[in-house]
Amino acid sequence: MVSTVSDEALFSRLAEVLKSGKAVALVTIVEKVGSGPRGVGAKMAVTEDGEVIGTVGGGSFERMVVNEALKRIREGKPGIVKYSFVGKEVEGAIDTGLICGGTVSVFIDIIKPRIKVLVFGAGKIGKPLAQLLNMVGFRVVVADPDPKLV
């Protein structure tokens, strides 16, 4: 079943997944020539454990995109992939075996969760260290026996 979701719902779920420490591939249709299942701008997210949020078209085409997204999550390599819907090989495109009559290019972006760093002690060294780690992109958790310092 094809499940379209609003961009707001998709990004909200994406944030939840990232907070849980899992990587996500954000798939966006960036080009459509001729006929294809969905238009430019359609989005879908694929989590590293295979959860799919949204749709770029459904069916066998979407399964191909999900498999490519999972592969790219493992490799850490974003990129553009072109799919053909003309029932024959098209140079530079993966043949879907479908005959909608066009080609669709998707951009698969890999979004990895921030690395969690635990800082024990919020004193003269711990507090500025935690601030610095946060500024450079780490998810920081500070532990100190004095709750006023945390």
The tens digit of pLDDT for each residue in 111-132 reads: 998 888 999 999 999 999 999 9
Q: What is the structure's pLDDT at 1?
A: 45
The answer to whether position 2 is within a domain reads no
Q: What is the structure's pLDDT at 3?
A: 64
Q: Are residues 64 and 44 in the same domain?
A: yes
For the chain, what is the domain count?
A: 2
Q: Are residues 68 and 134 in the same domain?
A: no
How many whole angstroms separate alpha carbon 112 and alpha carbon 16? 12
Q: Are residues 124 and 54 in the same domain?
A: no
**pTM (predicted TM-score):** 0.78
Residues spanned by the domain of 69: 7-111
Q: What is the structure's pLDDT at 136?
A: 92
